[in-house]
Structure 1
Amino acid sequence: MDFSGIAEFFKFLLDSEDIINYGGLALIVLIVYMENGMFFAFFLPGDYLLFLAGLFASTGQLHFSITLISSSIVAAAILGSYTGYFFGRLLGKNLEHRKDSLFFKKEYLERSRVFFARYGGKALILARFMPIVRTFSPIVAGTIHMNIRTFSLYNVLGALAWGVSLPVAGYYLGQRFPQIIDYVEYIILFFIGITSIALIRTLIGMKKKRNKPPGNETSQ
């Protein structure tokens, strides 16, 4: 087996610049679809891929309008989450007995379940901006048989918030500050740092709340 070829393939999938330059909008849409509901695709780039798609559109490296890019991303995110939802509804219980592997960790499923238990349907909107949780939240929604109409509402709202804000922000900054294209590596590190901090803080908060004695909770 050619492990070097496999390693190069995964390196390509994790490099947003290569995805945009060589795969174009089609590959961006495919990755967004997979990362928004397929448990084995949690490692794919999300937030910074969308931002860079908008940025590269502003500089002409991605030859599509920002309207088409954003609408395509929103559609892919909605369909991806529906895929995760119906997978969770039909086969989600099987994940409970699945062994940990390179493409699946029970910890990720549990993390999303706790997040979902705290925020309910709103988790589907908040999770869009959190790696890993974004992938597993629709699966959890399907596993607990969340009402399809309620899921659809939050699915669409979350996809719009995520799929429009990040590409448009990248496009706007690219037009205002064209030189920003020279700092792609720093942009990626910035997004990784911000999303990681947000995820860690949320998990710590959920853990504290879960471990808090019932008698110590104040009434709302």
Structure 2
Amino acid sequence: MSAIEWVDGLMDTLGAPGAGVAIALENLFPPLPSEAILPLAGFAASAGRMSLLAVLLWTTAGSVAGALALYGVGALLGRDRTVAIAARLPLVKVSDIERTEAWFRRHGTKAVFLGRMIPIFRSLVSVPAGVERMPLPVFLGLTTLGSALWNTAFVLAGYALGENWPEVTRLVSAYSTVVLVAAALTVVAFFGLRLSRRPGADTAP
């Protein structure tokens, strides 16, 4: 059984709350994509299997629940453990972590809000928010708003397209690929720059 078939069965069994459960799990297990779950839920609403309003409310609640769980992971991990783990990684310096922390303190609210609309990062951004102990009401407000916008767009697209809802997934897959490639290139550039600065890297033979 595919992931989509499992989600479809979950919605058959639980209705709109099943879509919420699937989205909560998607936050914790990104390979289960919201870009497929949400249009499918919209299609189910268009077919009369559940209320459109209920789908929007439950999927947003699921997004917030999943994000809150990851916020908790970050809060439990804490700054000291995060720095200790990162410091053990090759080519990563504590100063890099400190710069990242400073950036998140300045732009954390925008990162949490906008991050809810970027594949993969929409889940991961909750962890540094927890590490930095962003005030919980602020985190929940930004996460709810960003998730509601993202979810509504995809649910309504699936609702409008009906049986053609997979078209949404295909379009967003291209967007996701661009985001992942850009992230991979950024990581490669970072480590390439770090290697070039290592002692002896420019020593002539």
For 1:23, the equivalent position in structure 2 comes to 10
- The Cα offsets for residues 10-38 of structure 1, whole Å up to 9 and x where unpaired, read as x53x3x24421x111444322211222x3
TM-score by length of 1: 0.64
After TM superposition, the runs of 4+ consecutive aligned structure 1 residues lying more than 6 A away are: 205-209
Contact 1:81 1:155 in 2 (8 A): yes
Name the CA distance, whole Å, in 2 between partners of 1:196 and 1:171. 24
Aligned residue identity for 1:124: V
Deviation at 1:169, TM superposition (A): 2.0
Contact 1:50 1:167 in 2 (8 A): yes
Contact 2:39 2:157 in 1 (8 A): yes
Counting aligned pairs with the same residue, the percent is 25
Contact 1:92 1:143 in 2 (8 A): yes
Contact 2:35 2:168 in 1 (8 A): no
Name the CA distance, whole Å, in 1 between partners of 2:187 and 2:134. 21
* Residue-pair matches, total: 172
Return closer, same or farther for 1:187/1:158 CA change in 2, 3 Å cut-off: closer
- The Cα offsets for residues 60-109 of structure 1, whole Å up to 9 and x where unpaired, read as 4xx101111111001111122112112211125556649xxxxxxxxxxx
- Within the candidate set 37, 40, 44, 1:56 is matched to 44
Alignment of 1:132-151 (within 5 A): 132-151=120-139
Name the CA distance, whole Å, in 1 between partners of 2:74 and 2:38. 26
Deviation at 1:164, TM superposition (A): 1.7
Name the CA distance, whole Å, in 2 between partners of 1:206 and 1:143. 21
Counterpart secondary structure, 1:71: helix
* Bigger CA radius of gyration: 2
Residue 176 of structure 2 is aligned to residue 188 of structure 1: no
Name the CA distance, whole Å, in 1 between partners of 2:111 and 2:184. 13
Deviation at 1:171, TM superposition (A): 0.8
Return closer, same or farther for 1:119/1:197 CA change in 2, 3 Å cut-off: farther
Contact 2:7 2:22 in 1 (8 A): no
Residue 107 of structure 2 is aligned to residue 127 of structure 1: no
Return closer, same or farther for 1:163/1:187 CA change in 2, 3 Å cut-off: closer
Counterpart secondary structure, 1:145: coil
Name the CA distance, whole Å, in 2 between partners of 1:203 and 1:169. 29
Counterpart secondary structure, 2:32: coil
- Within the candidate set 57, 73, 79, 1:71 is matched to 57
Name the CA distance, whole Å, in 2 between partners of 1:141 and 1:44. 22
Deviation at 1:42, TM superposition (A): 2.3
TM-score by length of 2: 0.68
Aligned residue identity for 1:158: G
Contact 2:158 2:168 in 1 (8 A): no
Aligned residue identity for 1:121: T
Name the CA distance, whole Å, in 2 between partners of 1:203 and 1:132. 12
- Within the candidate set 48, 72, 77, 1:86 is matched to 72
